[in-house]
Amino acid sequence: MINYNKFFEEIKTLKGNLYQKDFLLTWQKSKDELIKVLLVAEALKHLRDNNISTKCFDSGLAISNFRDNSTRTRFSFASACNMLGLEVQDLDESKSQIAHGETVRETANMISFLTDIIGIRDDMFLGEGNKYMQEVGEALDDGYQNGVLPQRPGIVNLQCDIDHPTQSMADLMHLKNYFGSLENLKGKKIAMTWAYSPSYGKPLSVPQGIIGLMTRFGMDVSLAYPEGYDLIPDVIEIADRNAQNYGGRFKVVNTMEEAFKDADIVYPKSWAPYVVMQKRTELLKASDKEGLKLLEQECLLNNARFKNWECTEEKMKLTNQGNALYMHCLPADISGVSCKEGEVSAGVFEKYRIETYKEAGYKPYIIAAMILTNRFENPVKLLKRMNNKKVKRVKI
C-alpha cells in the first residue's frame, strides 16, 4: 500500500521537467525524470487497483501510429489513454492520403487539431524510426507556433530503431517491485543476451533499451551475443558511459554462459545484427523483394549456427544460486511450443510465465505516466485530487 504523503513528497524532491516534453529516448531524460515516471505509474496503478477513477481528460484524441505490428504495446497504449479519458484513433497509413504523397509535416498537423498525445511505433528501418518521430515533432512545433494547432501534442516513442522506452521502463518497474526498491537494484547483475530464433529481422531496440537504462541504476549489465551480432555502436558507448557515471558496470561477452554466471536477472532475446539491419533498411527503401528474400535466407542460415544460444534449465543453474529472474518482452520463441527450437526452453518459460505477464502488465501504467507528465505541469496536485475525491471507476 502506498503511503501517499511520503510518496508525493518524494516526487516533489525530484528535479527535471517532463511537461510538454516528448519521450523519445530514456537517455535523453535525467535520472530524476525517469524516477518520476515510475512513481506516477505506481500512483496510477494504486488508484486503479483501488477502483478509483484516473480520468483527467473530459475529451481529446490520442493518435496511435503503428508502422509495425504489435500486440502488447498497441493494447497498452489504448489502455493507458482510456484510463486517462482520451479516445484512441488509429492512423492507418494505408487508408490515409500518405499513400498519395502527403508529407510528414502535413499529416502531423492534420491529425493534431484536437489531439493531446501521439504514440508512434517505427522500428523497421534502422536509422529512420527515431528520425521520423523527430520529424513529426518538428512539424507539430511549426503548426503550434504558427497558430494552426491550439496546442502542441506530445509524442511517446512506442518503439523505434534505437530504443523501446515504454518496454524498458516497464521492465524497470517490474524489477523495482520484484526486488523491493530501486536501491536494491544496485550491484544486481542482469544478463542481456542474444538468443536463437528461427526468424530474422528482429529490432535492436529492446537490448539497446535495457543496456541504456539499467546502467543508469547502478546495475552490473552483461551484454552477450555471438560474433557479428553487434548493436549500434553509439548505444554501446552510452551504456558504457552510464555505468561509469552511475556506479554500475557494463561489459560485452561472447557466450551466454559467461553472461549467465552469477546473474540475478537474465533477459535472453533475439535480434538481427546491426550490419544486417543496415542492409535490410536499404532493401526495404528500394522495395527490393528479391534482395530481402535472399538476405532473410542468409540470416536464417547464420542464426542456425547458434542454436545453442538457448535459455535452458542447465544455463539457469549458472545464475546466482540457480534462481535468477527470467525476463522477456514477449512473445518469446519457446522451444517445442511456439517453434521447434528457440530462445528459451518450455520448462524455463513456464516457470517464469506469470512473472513475464506481470512484467508486461506494467506497460499501460508507464505509458499513462508518460502521457500524464507530458500534459500536466503538476502531476502531484492532480494525483492528490484523484485520491481525495475517490470517484469510483466501477460503481458497484
Domain ranges of the chain: 4-163+362-389, 167-360
Cell 545484427 sits at which residue?
273
3-class secondary structure, 178: helix
The Cα–Cα gap between 282 and 292 comes to: 10
Q: What confidence score (pLDDT) does residue 1 get?
A: 55
Cell 527535471 sits at which residue?
16
Superfamily name with CATH number, domain 4-163+362-389:
Aspartate/ornithine carbamoyltransferase (3.40.50.1370)
The Cα–Cα gap between 158 and 41 comes to: 16
The residue among 214, 306, 328 whose CA lies nearest residue 254 is: 306
Q: What confidence score (pLDDT) does residue 308 get?
A: 97
The Cα–Cα gap between 221 and 252 comes to: 9
Q: What confidence score (pLDDT) does residue 93 get?
A: 80
Q: 28-34: long-range contacts at Cβ-Cβ below 8 A with a sequence spacing of 24 or more?
A: 31/216, 31/217, 31/246, 34/169, 34/172, 34/213, 34/216
Please, what sign has the CA dihedral across residues 325, 329, 335, 338?
positive
Q: What confidence score (pLDDT) does residue 82 get?
A: 98
Buried b (16+ CB within 10 A) or exposed e, 179-202: eeebeebeebbbbbbbbbbbebbb
The Cα–Cα gap between 123 and 119 comes to: 13
Q: What confidence score (pLDDT) does residue 94 get?
A: 73
Name residue 348's amino acid.
Answer: V
Q: What confidence score (pLDDT) does residue 2 get?
A: 63
Name residue 298's amino acid.
Answer: E
3-class secondary structure, 231: coil
Total residue count of the chain as it appears in this document: 396
Q: What confidence score (pLDDT) does residue 5 get?
A: 73
The two domains 4-163+362-389 and 167-360 share their CATH topology (first three levels equal): yes
Q: What confidence score (pLDDT) does residue 175 get?
A: 98
In angstroms, the first-to-last Cα distance of the chain is 22
Q: What confidence score (pLDDT) does residue 60 get?
A: 97
Q: What confidence score (pLDDT) does residue 201 get?
A: 82
The Cα–Cα gap between 75 and 82 comes to: 10
Which of the following CATH numbers is that of domain 167-360: 3.40.50.1100, 3.40.50.1370, 3.40.50.1390, 3.40.190.170? 3.40.50.1370
Could you read off the pLDDT of 56-71 as tens digits, one per residue? Answer: 999 999 999 999 889 9
The Cα–Cα gap between 339 and 230 comes to: 25
Q: Which residues of the chain have pLDDT under 70?
A: 1-2, 99-100
